[in-house]
Amino acid sequence: MRILALVPGGIGDQLLFFPTLDDLKQSYPESQIDVIVEPRSKGAYRVCQSVRDVLIYNFKDSNSLADWGNLLGTIRDREYEAVISLGQRWTVGLLLWLTGIPKRIGYTGNGKIFLTNPVPLKTEQYAAQMYHDLLQGMKIGTPFKGISINLPRADIDWAEAEQQRLGVSESGYILIHGGSSELAQVKGIDKIYPTNYWQEIITELQQKQPNLPVVIVKGPEDGAWVSEITQFDPDVKIVMPGDVGKLAAIIAAANLMLCTDSAPMHLAVAVGTYTIALFGPTEADKLLPKSDRIVAVKSPTSKMSDISPQAVLQKVWGGDN
Residues 215-253 have pLDDT tens digits of 999 988 888 889 999 999 988 999 999 999 999 999 999
Contact 128, 145 (CB under 8 A): no
Residue 182, pLDDT score: 57
DSSP letters spanning 12-53: HHHHHHHHHHHHHHHHSTT-EEEEEE-GGGGGGGGG-SS-SE
DSSP letters spanning 278-315: EESSS-HHHHS---TTEEEEE-SSS-GGGS-HHHHHHH
Residues 25-63 have pLDDT tens digits of 999 999 999 999 999 999 999 999 999 999 999 877 666
What is the rounded average pLDDT of the residues 301-319?
93
Domain with CATH 3.40.50.2000 in the chain: 2-138, 153-318
Angstrom distance (rounded) from CA 303 to CA 251:
26
Which segment of 10-24, 106-120, 177-191 scores lowest on mean pLDDT? Answer: 177-191
Pick the CATH number of 2-138 from 3.40.50.12780, 3.30.450.40, 3.40.50.300, 3.40.50.2000: 3.40.50.2000
Q: Would you identify the CATH topology of the domain 153-318?
A: Rossmann fold (3.40.50)
Residue 269, pLDDT score: 97
Could you tell me which residue, 90 or 187, shows the higher pLDDT? 90
Residues 130-184 have pLDDT tens digits of 999 999 999 999 999 999 999 999 999 999 999 999 999 999 999 999 976 555 5
pLDDT at 204 over 80: yes
| pLDDT bracket for residue 321 (50, 70, 90) | very low
Please state the pTM of the whole predicted model: 0.93
Q: Is the dihedral of CA 115, 16, 144, 48 positive or negative?
A: positive
What is the rounded average pLDDT of the residues 179-200?
76
Q: Is 27 left (phi over 0), alpha (psi -120 to 50) or beta?
A: alpha
Residues 263-303 have pLDDT tens digits of 999 999 999 999 999 999 999 999 999 999 999 999 999 99
Residue 62, pLDDT score: 64
Side-chain-facing half-sphere of 133: CA atoms under 13 Å: 17
